[in-house]
Amino acid sequence: MKTLAEIAIDAGLVNRASAAKAGKMAEERRQPLVVVLVRELKVDELALVAAFGKQTRVPLIDPGEIQIDPDALRSIPRDMCARLRVLPLSIERDGRTKVCRLAMADPTDTAAIAEIEQLLHCDIEVSALPLSAIDELIDKGYRQINTAVVMRPGSPTSTMFVTAKGKDTPASYPDSEVSVTAQIPLAALQAPDDVETRLTALVQVLVGKGLITEAELTEALIKLKSSS
């Protein structure tokens, strides 16, 4: 398969001098080449994805048709997805072989593919997706799989997940801004000055915005308890 630089050059999106400059910038900044081409050299990302389709056998994906798979997202840390500009679409078994379908802003990035293979120990099937769509869907997907956390009554060091039905199962968030009010029990709204309630609401806001995770909160509570 051609490299990203070769594809961009052949498609007339950059010249050789610009491609070389972008390569040097990407190396110095430790960023994927596609990020430098699109964000710094202002290469049209849709034209770049179209070039993938014309010059390679990599399939293209319509961002609007993607259904985010929470299990696939959980298999790869968010910081790795953001760094490599990849989005796991699904992880399935084909007979005895485990296959990860992976959307990439640069499906020619063999180093990124190898890193995912090493992490998941499975075959990788790649497809192309515009850089901006990758970034947006990573943010959207990981916000959805963040869990709302509330304090279990009578036990300040334990937590539980909540859903609309109140069961101890993971809760997902809508694409838009998380509604804190919808996540707080009615009794809590009737006692806004209660310190414990306010702290619980604060935790929900932080988790909902992706600033902390349930695992990080649990770890902090354990450390706090052990030091007291």
Give residue limits of the domains in the chain: 4-55, 63-142, 146-227
The whole-number average pLDDT for the span 210-217 is 72
Are 37 and 48 a contacting pair, CB within 8 Å? yes
Low-confidence winner among 27-31, 33-37, 198-202 (lowest mean pLDDT)? 198-202
pLDDT computed for residue 187 by the predictor = 35
Fold designation for 63-142: GMP Synthetase; Chain A, domain 3 (3.30.300)
Confidence label for 184 from pLDDT (cuts 50, 70 and 90)? very low
**Any idea which of 4-8, 38-42, 157-161, 200-204 has the lowest mean pLDDT?**
157-161
Q: Which of the four pLDDT bands, split at 50, 70 and 90, describes residue 56? A: very high
Q: Which residue has the higher pLDDT, 141 or 200?
A: 141
pTM across the whole model: 0.63
So what's the pLDDT on residue 173?
A: 36
Q: What percent of the chain has pLDDT over 90?
A: 55
pLDDT at res. 206: 66
Q: Specify the pLDDT at position 146.
A: 72
